[in-house]
């Protein structure tokens, strides 16, 4: 797989998944899965973290709005290990977070467990996802 294609695939997934997580939280709140205080607590934890991820992605999109590809790097084949590692970290992070939110809304896990789980999950995955996102979506040249 080419670097540019993998970047687009991961970028779209991150963008859509983060929006869907917030929609999911509000749907679960609307059906009574969370109290108002719990909703605010979840948002207080997730919004700053997700904003950091999304900022790098949006900055890259804005800087590359004309879709000018660097022939040397964007069209090179991706090392299979890189693709596997980025996929595992990005998908596992989103799936685990979503499951914890749903499990809490349906009282499978406690709210305290959810908040602690979010803190642990975001701390663990945050460093790795941050590295992946800054590498994949770095802005190398300023457009005038």
Query: What are the angstrom distances between the C-alpha of 102 and each of 1, 17, 31?
Result: 34, 15, 12
pTM of the full predicted structure? 0.84
**Mean pLDDT of all residues in 24-52:** 95
- Coil vs helix vs strand at 29: helix
> pLDDT for 131-142, tens place per residue?
888 788 877 665
pLDDT of residue 143: 47
> pLDDT for 54-102, tens place per residue?
888 888 888 877 765 555 556 678 899 999 999 999 999 999 999 999 9
Query: What are the angstrom distances between the C-alpha of 34 and each of 19, 31, 45, 115?
Result: 18, 8, 15, 13
Domain range annotation of the chain: 3-136
């Amino acid at each position: 797989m080419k670097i540019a294609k993998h970047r687009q695939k991961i970028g779209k997934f991150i963008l859509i998944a983060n929006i869907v997580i917030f929609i999911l939280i509000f749907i679960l709140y609307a059906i009574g899965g969370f109290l108002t205080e719990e909703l605010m607590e979840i948002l207080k934890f997730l919004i700053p973290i997700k904003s950091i991820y999304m900022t790098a992605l949006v900055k890259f999109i804005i800087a590359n709005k004309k879709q000018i590809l660097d022939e040397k790097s964007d069209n090179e084949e991706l090392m299979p290990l890189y693709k596997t590692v980025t996929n595992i970290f990005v998908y596992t992070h989103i799936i685990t977070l979503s499951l914890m939110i749903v499990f809490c809304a349906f009282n499978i896990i406690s709210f305290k467990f959810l908040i602690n789980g979010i803190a642990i999950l975001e701390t663990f995955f945050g460093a790795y996802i941050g590295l992946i996102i800054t590498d994949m979506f770095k802005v190398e040249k300023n457009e005038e």
